[in-house]
Amino acid sequence: MIAATQSNHPLAASTQPSPAVSPLVEARARIRQAGMRITRPRIAIIESLLRHAGPISIERIHQDLGPTMCDLVTVYRCLAAFESLDMVRRSYLHNGTCLYELTLGSTRHYHIVCKSCGNTERVDYFSVEGMEGIVKERGYIHVSHIVEFFGICPACQQARQARGTSVTVPAEKRI
Ligand SMILES: [Zn+2]
C-alpha cells in the first residue's frame, strides 16, 4: 500500500514547518466551533491521520482505531464532517480508492501516485483558480477540485528493467 515510504512515527511531520498551534488543538477548536461534540472516535481519527504522514484509506483508519472504538460508518461520517470543516482533504488512488489526509498544519499540495507500487509523493501546490473561475461562471457555487497525478515511479522502472520486463501497467490498474 501507499504507506511504504511513509513513516508512521508521530514525529514524522516535524520536518514540515511547525504550525503555531498543534493540529490536534486546532482540530478540537474547529469541532467545538462547529457545535459538534468532541468524542473519542473523532479524536482517535484525527490522531490516526496525524500518525500517517500521507493520505490513508477509511478502512486503514478504522483498523487503527481498533475493533471496539466505533463502526466503519461512524468513521465515514466523521471524515465527511471533518471535510466540511476543511480539516481533511480527500484524494483518490487510480483504482478509485478514497483516501483522506489532514490539512491542518500542512501546506497545500497535490500527490503523484505510482500506478505500479502505489507510493505517493507530494507535488507542490499550483493555483487552478482560473479553472475554478470557469466553473463558477457556469453558475456553480461551493466549487472545489481534486487533482491527482499518476505515473510509474523511478524505483519501479529500475526494478522492472533489472527483471528484464518492460514497464507496463496491469490492465486492471489502467485509468
Ligand atoms: Zn512504484
Q: What secondary structure, in 3-state letters, does the chain show?
A: CHHHHCCCCHHHHHHCCCCCCCHHHHHHHHHHHCCCCCCHHHHHHHHHHHHCCCCEEHHHHHHHHCCCCCCHHHHHHHHHHHHHCCCEEEEECCCCCEEEEECCCCCCEEEEEECCCCCEEEEECCCCHHHHHHHHHCCCCCCCCCCEEEECCHHHHHHHHHHCCCCCCCHHHCC
What is the C-alpha to C-alpha distance for residues 58 and 55, in angstroms, rounded to an integer?
10
Q: Residue 128: what pLDDT?
A: 76
Given the candidates 3.40.640.10, 1.10.10.10, 3.30.1600.10, 3.10.50.40, the CATH classification of the domain at 2-173 is 1.10.10.10
**Measured in whole angstroms, how far is the alpha carbon of residue 61 from the centre of its chain?**
11
What is the C-alpha to C-alpha distance for residues 13 and 124, in angstroms, rounded to an integer?
16
Q: How far is the CA of 159 from the centre of ligand 1 (A)?
A: 9
Domain ranges of the chain: 2-173
Residue type, 173: K
Q: How far is the CA of 113 from the centre of ligand 1 (A)?
A: 8
Q: How far is the CA of 174 from the centre of ligand 1 (A)?
A: 14
Contacts of 47 (CB under 8 A, 6+ apart): 24
Asked if residue 110 lies in contact with residue 122, where contact means CB atoms within 8 angstroms, the answer is: yes
Q: How far is the CA of 94 from the centre of ligand 1 (A)?
A: 13
Q: Residue 130: what pLDDT?
A: 83
Q: How far is the CA of 117 from the centre of ligand 1 (A)?
A: 4
For cell 505500479, what's the residue? 116
∠ CA 114-116-118 to the nearest 5 degrees?
50
Q: Residue 143: what pLDDT?
A: 80
Q: Dump pLDDT digits (tens) for 2-26.
A: 444 444 444 444 444 444 678 888 8
Q: Residue 36: what pLDDT?
A: 92
Q: How far is the CA of 154 from the centre of ligand 1 (A)?
A: 7
Asked if residue 130 lies in contact with residue 169, where contact means CB atoms within 8 angstroms, the answer is: no
Threshold 0.85, pTM exceeds: no
Q: Residue 90: what pLDDT?
A: 87
State which residues of the chain have pLDDT below 50.
1-19, 174-175
What is the C-alpha to C-alpha distance for residues 149 and 167, in angstroms, rounded to an integer?
18
